Structure 1
Amino acid sequence: MVRNVSIFDTTLRDGEQVPGAKLNMKEKLEVATQLKHLGVDFIEAGFPSSSTGDFQAVKEIATKVGNSEDVVITALARAVKSDIDAVYESIKYAKNPLIHIVLGTSDIHVEKKFGKSKDEILSKGVEAVKYAKTLLPDVQYSTEDASRSDFEYLWNTIEAVVKAGATIINIPDTVGFAEPEEFGHLIYRINQRLINLNDQVILSVHCHNDLGMATANTLAAIKNGADKVECTINGIGERAGNTSLEEVVMAIKTKPSIYKAETKIVTKEIMKTSKLVSNLMGIEVQPNKAITGENAFAHSSGIHQDGLLKSRDAYEIISPKDIGLDDMELVLTARSGRHAVKSALQRIGFGSLTDDQFTVIFDDFLEIADQKKEVYSHDLYTIVARHLKNLADQHCFYELVDLQVISNNQFPSASVKVKKGDQIFNQSSSGTGPVDALYTALMEISGLDISLHEYRITSISRGKEALGKVKLQVEFADELFTVQAADEDIMKASALAFMNAINMAIVKQLQEANIQQLG
């Protein structure tokens, strides 16, 4: 029997507690709207008692995103009346509001954090639930630090708050201390007792990633009876983060025979949501992160590329299209093999090369690949141009000669000198900032209408070399080009990356003409 597992997203509450990740009201509303498109069952919109701004943001989300029955809007309260009132007053505008109360149950929390007896804390939790129930019918109670709690005291707390009216019991691994086998066993024991106590109460889990096991613990909990899981987009959150929503969802989808469960998540919205959260919060996703990392579906090994081109399931257990990507990415590097290079040549219109022609071209490719981090389509085109005399214009790509960028608050400007074959172009432009001015100058030289989708500068050495990565939309090609370049000067790295994108766009222009000539 396949059961539904509810997804509770706490990106806007627990995720936003990351230093520097604070969102304004407009940004919070944008993320919440996208979470609704993603199909989450619950959105924890914030911690209303923490500030007036957070209260207003939660209220706005409840009003504009929680205006339909398909998503529950909640917010966090400590087990005190003022917090519960703040949650109620901010979420009561939603069609499906839920009050979420949290209170510790471990000896460390009870004795050291609160300085009270276990009976006092238990009573405090019961009174909080009873009060919340006078305001709304649905109340979630989280037993903070449950994984380090004495089991019988933990159970006594759960039993008491359920009798007081809690409709969801959430079991947090607050400090990421648990491991899958023990956490799964804990959830199993609680689930068995909870079914006998009140089988209408939902059992939920909330795991942190301090030991790198948040996703594993969450999946173990699902296997042992949890019907609701708390997650964040990209796994963001305090310290090492929370359970990653996309990892749990795709594990359930990929291994249905193991978890015997499903979710309502629209998986094709995953990458869109990931990028939105990353961009607004200013927190980059690590390149090798599962599902949403930029390398998750990129392949540079020749052995892997060869296998993938022969059969996708050789090295691909998830289709990139399932999470909203266009396709897998075969990155051409010195490790790429003949099959991958031949496939790349076919994509840019050179599918009719003889074996002898390809052998010479591949040797040239390896020579360039040893010098560059990544080989792009215009690099391949240049290689082919050396050996095919009837090829269209062999000197059609731009090369950066020099640049000067002036950064100030009043008139940021840039001057560039670019070479194309025997031609030299000079252009100066201003912009809203130095990078905008630089890219405006390069676009004016190329004559292409280009829209910048993503721009990022990252240090790749001890602060002395910069890696500029740019994602561009070229209007006439209707295609996104992901490119990068490296240099010790971050402005030059930015310019070189942009030049790579322009040259890739030119390849698209030439592609059809070359197919006709070589066909």
Structure 2
Amino acid sequence: MSRKFWVFDTTLRDGEQVPGAKLNLYEKLEVAKQLKKLQVDMIEAGFPSSSTGDFNAVKEIARKVGNSDDLIITALARAVKSDIEAVYNSVKYAENPLIHIVLGASDIHAEKKFGKSKSQLLDIGVDAVKFAKTLLPEVQYSTEDASRADFEYLWQTIEAVVKAGATIINVPDTVGFAEPEEFGGLIYKINDRLKNLNDNVLLSVHCHNDLGMATANTLAAIKNGADKVECTINGIGERAGNASLEEVVMAVHTRAEIYQAYTNVNTMEIMNTSRMVSEFMGLDVQVNKAITGENAFAHSSGIHQDGLIKSRDTYEIINPIDIGLDDMELVLTARSGRHAVKTAFKQLGMNQFTNTEFEEIFTDFLELADAKKEVYNHDLYVIIENYYKKKNKDNENMNHFSSNFYELVDLQVISNAKFPSANVELKKAGQTLTGSAVGSGPIDALYSAIMDGCELDIKLIQYDIRSISKGKEALGKVKIQVEYKGETYIAKASDTDILKASADAYINAINSIVIDHLLPVS
């Protein structure tokens, strides 16, 4: 029988502990609102005793996001009266507030972190829970470093704090030390005893990723009775990060027959949430990361593309639409096979080739792909028109479409503190177009100059740049997202000159817009 498990998001607390990822109040509120859209069950909004700013952020989230009875707002406290009061005074404005207390449970923490005996720590934990219960009815107790604790002492602690009033017991693998079979066995033993002690108390887990097993350990815990899991968006967090919310949720969603469990998470909001957290925190998502990585649903291998075109389930176990993406992406590269390239041409209405013609066109495609890395739809138009020109043939299907595309000829960008400016020279239909503009920075000036030259009203939504090689000749890869008439377009380009890469990416986006909106009817 399928059962619900609770999803506790700690992106705004544990996730924000990543160096350099600190959010301001506005950003915290926006992330919390998005987590509410994602329909997580609980949001850990921060660590209010750490600073006045964090206290105020938790308070605002409790007031403005926790104003419904289907979402629990909590924050972290050490087993110290002042911490617990800070949590209470910040989360009490929510409809469903909860106090979260954490205290070490392992010998290592007792001896080396606290310098106290385990019996002293147990007493401190019980007193903390009793005090928290005078403030709020819902209290979570986390047995920090539980995966390295002596089991009988761990159970003694759990039993004592439950009798003191804890309503959730959280079992953290604080340093990512556990492995799935071991951690699953631990949760099974605790769950068996806990349900006999008080079956109203929820059993929770919090797994770190130091050995790359946070998601696997969390899933093992679900299989062995965990009622609640603590995760972060994109798996961010202290050191190597936490269990990734999207990975846990989609694993259970995809393999429901294995886990016999479900969540209330709205999977359609996964990508929106991932992108917001990545942008606000300035933390790029690993390109090959499961679920939210840029390449998670992109297929460039000819073998894979061929299989997907024949039947999606050959190489795709999750429909990208289910997590908020448009659809799978067949990336045309030098590794793409004939079937994928032929399908791409067909989708553009260009499929009237003989076998001999296609083989020659495919050769031209490979030459361009070797030079350009990724081939866009507008490149396919150019390939076809150039092919027919080379053969001195007229192709009525083409209707000289490629003359509608823009090509970057030259650019000049001046960067200074007062008036960053740019001039560009473009080519279209054999004509030279020029544009010039000033901007708030060199990229803004460059893109404004390109818009001036092509006379299109395009809104830049996102701009990302990263190095994809090292040394003096390092390649810079630019990825942009633009909006035109309510539709979103993503384009990329690479070059040793990052300004040229930026311009090429923008031109690629413009040519995609031309295909969808501005090509003449054939």
C-alpha distance in structure 1 between counterparts of 2:155 and 2:517, whole Å: 68
Aligned partners of 1:51, 1:479: CA distance in 2, in Å?
42
Asked if residue 425 in structure 1 is aligned to residue 433 in structure 2, the reply is: yes
Partner of 2:391: none
Structure 2 equivalent of residue 238 of structure 1: 238
- Give the structure 2 partner of residue 41 of structure 1: 41
Match of 2:157 in 1: 157
Contact 1:381 1:507 in 2 (8 A): no
Match status 1:414 vs 2:409: no
The CA deviation at 1:349 is: 2.6
Shift of 1:513: 1.7
TM-score in terms of structure 1 length:
0.96
Deviation at 1:355, TM superposition (A): 3.6
- Aligned residue in 2 for 1:455: 463
Aligned partner (choices 485, 490, 497) of residue 493 of structure 2? 485
Unaligned 5+ residue runs, structure 1?
A: 515-519
1:85 to 2:80 alignment = no
Q: Shift of residue 346 of structure 1?
A: 2.1
- Structure 1 position 435 matched with structure 2 position 436: no
- Mean Cα deviation higher: 409-418 or 17-26: 409-418
Distance 2:517 2:131 in 1: 67
Q: Tell whether the 8 Å contact from 2:493 to 2:505 is kept in structure 1 after alignment.
A: yes
Identity, in percent, stands at 70
**Structure 1 stretch displaced more, 228-237 or 396-405:** 396-405
1:399 Cα deviation from its structure 2 partner: 2.1
Alignment partner of 1:471 is 2:480: yes
Provide, for residues 442-500 of structure 1, a one-character-per-residue CA deviation record: whole Å limited to 9, x for no partner: 01111222121221110011154243333333424x54332211111211111111111
Asked if the contact 1:466/1:493 (under 8 Å) is kept, the reply is: no
Alpha-carbon distance, 1:503 to partner: 1.8
What TM-score, normalized by structure 2, do the two folds share?
Answer: 0.96
Question: Where does structure 1 differ by over 4 angstroms across 4 or more consecutive aligned residues?
Answer: none
8 Å contact 1:2–1:261 — kept in the other structure? yes
Cα distance in 1 between the residues matched to 2:72 and 2:512: 45
How do residues 45-444 of structure 1 correspond to structure 2 at under 5 angstroms? 45-386=45-386, 387=388, 388-390=394-396, 391-393=398-400, 394-444=402-452
Per the TM alignment, residue 344 of structure 1 is displaced from its structure 2 partner at its CA by 1.1
CA deviation vs aligned residue, 1:46-74 (integer Å, no higher than 9, x gap): 00000000000000000000000010000
User: Quick one: distance in 2 between partners of 1:409 and 1:87?
Assistant: 44
User: Contact 2:435–2:451 (CA<8 Å) still a contact in 1?
Assistant: no
Aligned position for 1:517: none
Separation of aligned partners in 2, 1:511 and 1:258: 50
1:162-209 superposed Cα distances (whole Å, 9 cap, x missing partner): 000000000000000000010000001111111111111000000000
1:103, 1:143 within 8 Å by CA — same for their partners in 2?
yes
Contact 1:450 1:472 in 2 (8 A): no
CA contact (8 A) 1:99 1:139 kept: yes
Structure 1 contact 474–505 (Cα < 8 Å) conserved: no
**Per-residue deviation at 1:510?**
5.5
For 2:480, the aligned partner's letter is: K
Q: SS in structure 1 opposite 2:212? A: coil
**Distance in 1, Cα, partners of 2:268 & 2:319:** 10
Deviation at 1:409, TM superposition (A): 2.5
Q: Residues 31-88 of structure 1: CA distance to partner in whole angstroms, max 9, x if unpaired?
A: 0000000010000000000000000000000000000001000000000000000000
**Alignment match, 1:30:** 30
- Shift, 1:243, TM fit: 0.3
Match of 1:497 in 2: 505
Name the Cα RMSD after superposition.
Answer: 1.3
Q: State the secondary structure of the residue aligned to 2:372.
A: coil
Does 1-10 or 500-509 show the bigger shift? Answer: 500-509
Q: In 1, are the aligned partners of 2:404 and 2:519 still within 8 Å (CA)?
A: no
Distance 1:463 1:84, change over 3 A: farther
Letter in 2 for 1:468: K
Separation in structure 1 between the aligned mates of residue 414 and residue 455 of structure 2, nearest angstrom: 23
Q: Aligned pair in 2 of structure 1 residues 4, 512: CA closer, same or farther (>3 Å)?
A: farther
d(CA) in 1 for partners of 2:496, 2:37: 41
Q: How far, CA to CA, are the matches of 2:483 and 2:68 in structure 1?
A: 38
Conservation of the 8 A alpha-carbon contact between 2:484 and 2:513: no
SS of the residue corresponding to residue 110 of structure 2 reads helix
2:404 is paired with a residue whose SS is: coil
How far the C-alpha of 1:421 sits from its partner, in A, is 4.2
2 CA distance for matches of 1:349 and 1:443? Answer: 29
Measure how far apart 1:431 and its partner are: 1.1
CA–CA distance in structure 1, aligned partners of residues 278 and 358 of structure 2? 41
What is the number of equivalent residue pairs in this alignment? 513
**Residue type of the partner of 1:168?**
I
User: In 2, distance between residues paired with 1:131 and 1:270?
Assistant: 37
In structure 2, what is the Cα distance between the partners aligned to 1:210 and 1:408?
Answer: 44
Structure 2: unaligned runs, 5 residues or longer = 389-393
